A and B are shown apart, each in its own frame.
Chain A
């Protein structure tokens, strides 16, 4: 069967079971857009290529399947650079296809030419410039394989216009036909290291499981839960891992890091064993590295061996898939005599000190007395911190200024339990992570590593496309919203009913917070205005329902109204208190020991 390169490309995507792609056509990619008309793949026409990339990310984060985005050469391609960098930092599987000028024109500074493979070399897991039409099916198969296996990540395929227009004899490669001699991801952990890790677990007195985004990538949430419940070891979930372990579980300590809650931060600081599972000791988690968890031994499980010892030297470094390694770890714990535990569920989010003692272990076994008796003092310490340093804010009823945390809490309480939440980057992101209750994996979509403002709207749209059965809310900031809001036109025209809550404090809030705290309240270029643009008018112009909320009393009504709309997007403009800051906070470069809690907890006023 003879196909054009363009037809072969689209057929190859179909062979990869692509059901939807996000993109915007242009000159060099024109040939590839023609066969889309005859394809089963749904193409969603975006208003800016950055939106296509972030939609593909949102889709990938909630489905676990690779997101696909397409753009033309030159500016189309460079507009996808930010989503690629974002997906690379957060290990999101993405396949981006870009048009390129004809092979004869490459290197001549042709119209809309850019060296996109060169530009994206450092922010893709790999990229390909196709120079032979016969390579198309093989390269597509390789691209999906690389994007989705090992440590997932974004890849880019650059296809010159003349290659898309020339013809080839169709074939579909078998796995052996893939030409990737240098790509052999490890998935199974070394059994002797796993045994060492198990021994450390059983010997620890103040252990903490430091769960990262790798748990979600490995679909290891169930395995993690079994590990925590069997051992009674408390869990912190990083920003990238929110939802991988239920917030309402008595062993869940919540989010650690710069704006993590006090107990999660302190648990790691005082720990004698950190069990890092798919986490990478990001600077936002460790604070000053030299002062981070000084007494802790470290077991570090990551599928990417380059993460081992990169920031913090591990005592036991296991390269492998988190799910497989946790399952092996449980077997190793069994072999060492860990008693089969009763569930520790049943607590109501309070201190995890109410657990039932495990069945008596065999005398003399390593696990004797483990875990619950030995961990009792540790858990009572954690419970004390939780009681003393909870997350707090003060919402006055009626006329008082609307607190952003109150909006998030109301949203949490008035939407279904498994609602997907997307966020941008800044204060609103931290409020969302802190105040939402994440009880299900794959319900939190955010830009963790790169910190891309404007991520919320398009990623929420992508998430809704991936999970049309679920309610999807974006918690956004006013600064972020203005960066990518035009994609709501995409959502309206494609009937993708996402809901956007703008926590509109009229400021670039996080920058304002830093200027207040560290720059002597010298506010430089952070004021945005609450009503320029007119968010309700803008939302309506984009085909959405627009709602403005100024009083705490109107929050619930607005959310209920938004929840009832299912045929178009909704934008709710919540006018929130600009003076509200995110606490706790560890200042940049400071030790986690110097965590600043909300001043009201120290007896001061707010």
Chain B
């Protein structure tokens, strides 16, 4: 089971914000104040040092997406918001996990990491730390499978996403796979 629920339940917002202190707090405070649920949130500088990009996966069952976007847009440091429909976006996430891998199971864990094209980033006598980057659903599958061996610690980054590129087979959806940027509100 995905931590994000079904695709229908989550939507990904990619939010360009001014790179100023306190912006993340404003976004987080807005979500908590208005009762919007966040599945995951990732922040990083954008290609322009004045701005950062926040990728938020929101639970659209907690509030209408339209309301979430408009309220978010009212925050002064929010410059623009794009909604990425999961079916029209490339979503990626990174997982780090320390897995029980004693002499009996070590070979199987290594094999599993190989099948998923992950990497082993640390090796201990009884444990391995593995890394996997990929589509969130792939990470879900991997997580389910390694759980059998015993997960000591695990972290996932939350997803980042970009729209699919314009190709003829994208079913005539909006060319860049995004919903239009919201109008700014006073």
Given A181-B79, A182-B77, CB of A118 within 8 Å of CB of B67: no
Q: How far is the CB of B96 from chain A (nearest CB, A)?
A: 31
Q: Report the bound CA distance from A186 to B80 in whole Å.
A: 15
CB–CB B22/A309 < 8 A:
no
> Which residues in A have their C-beta under 8 angstroms from that of B61?
none
Which of B25, B26, B76, B182 contacts A180, CB < 8 Å? B76
B184 to A182, Cβ gap below 8 A?
yes
Q: CB of B183 within 8 A of chain A?
A: yes
The size bracket of the interface on B is: 20 to 34
A606 CB contacts on chain B under 8 angstroms? none
A43 within 8 Å of B by Cβ? no
Across chains A and B, the number of contacting residue pairs, with CB separation under 8 Å, is: 69
Report if B167 contacts A (CB, 8 A). Answer: no
In the complex, which range does the number of interface residues on chain A fall in?
20 to 34
Contact present for B184 and A118 (CB under 8 Å): no
B53 CB → nearest A CB, Å = 13
Q: Which residues of B contact A122 (CB under 8 A)?
A: 29-30, 33
Q: Does B70 contact A (CB under 8 A)?
A: yes
Interface residues in A128-143 by Cβ distance below 8 A to B read 129
User: Which residues 31-72 of B sit at the A interface, judged by CB distance below 8 A?
Assistant: 33, 50, 64, 66-67, 70-71
Complex-state Cα separation, A129 to B21, whole angstroms: 9
Q: How far, in Å, is A417 (CB) from chain B's closest CB?
A: 33
Chain A: CB-nearest residue to B32: A122
Cβ of A185 and Cβ of B184 under 8 Å apart?
A: yes
Q: How long is the Cα–Cα vector from A114 to B10 in the complex, in angstroms?
A: 37
Q: Which residue of A lies closest to B50 (CB)?
A: A181
Minimal Cβ-Cβ distance residue in A for B17: A182
Interface string of B140-164 (1 = CB under 8 A from A): 0000000000000000000000000
Hey, which chain B residues are within 8 Å of A125, CB to CB?
A: 76
Q: How far is the CA of A575 from the CA of B73 in the complex (A)?
A: 50
Q: Is B103 positioned at the interface, with any CB of A under 8 Å from its CB?
A: no
Q: Does the CB pair B186–A151 fall under 8 Å?
A: yes
Binary per-residue interface labels of chain A (514-555) against chain B in the complex, 1 for a CB within 8 Å, 0 otherwise: 000000000000000000000000000000000000000000
Most buried by B among A121, A146, A309: A121
Interface residues in B3-18 by Cβ distance below 8 A to A read 17-18
* B185 x A186 contact (CB < 8 A): yes
Contacting pair A149 B186 (CB below 8 A): yes
Q: Is the CB of A305 within 8 A of B185?
A: yes
- Decide if A247 is an interface residue (CB 8 Å cutoff): no
Verify if B170 is at the interface (C-beta below 8 Å from A): no
Q: Which of A150, A185, A305 has the most CB of B within 10 A?
A: A305
* Cβ-defined contact, A146 with B76, below 8 A: yes
> Contact between A319 and B185 (Cβ–Cβ < 8 Å)?
yes
**Chain A positions 109-123 with a Cβ under 8 Å from a chain B Cβ:** 117-118, 121-122
A303 to B26, CA, bound (A): 22
- Given the known inter-chain contacts A121-B29, A122-B29, A129-B22, please indicate yes or no for A151 contacting B66, CB distance below 8 A: no
Residues of B within 8 A of A319 (CB): 183, 185
Specify which chain A residues have a CB less than 8 angstroms from the CB of B71 in the assembled complex.
Answer: 306
Q: Which residue of A lies closest to B76 (CB)?
A: A126
Could you tell me the distance between the alpha carbons of A304 and B75 in the complex, rounded to whole angstroms? 12
Taking a contact as CB atoms under 8 Å apart, the answer to whether B186 and A304 are in contact is yes
Interface residues of A in 146-181 (CB under 8 A from B): 146, 149-151, 180-181
Contact (Cβ within 8 A) A186 B67: no
Complex contact A182–B186 (CB within 8 A): no
Closest CB in chain B relative to A320 CB, distance in Å: 10
Interchain CB contact under 8 A, B30 and A184: no
Residue of A nearest to B34 (CB): A122
Contact of B186 among A117, A186, A308 (CB under 8 A): A186
Residues of A within 8 A of B50 (CB): 181
Pull 26 A–B residue pairs with CB atoms less than 8 Å apart, ordered by A. A118-B22, A121-B22, A121-B25, A121-B26, A122-B33, A125-B76, A126-B76, A129-B21, A146-B76, A150-B186, A181-B50, A182-B76, A182-B77, A182-B78, A182-B79, A182-B80, A183-B76, A183-B186, A185-B186, A186-B186, A304-B74, A304-B186, A308-B70, A309-B66, A310-B67, A319-B183
Residues of A at the B interface (CB closer than 8 Å) are 117-118, 121-122, 125-126, 129, 146, 149-151, 180-186, 303-306, 308-310, 319
Query: Lowest 3 CB-CB distances: which A-B pairs, in order?
Result: A150-B186, A185-B186, A306-B70
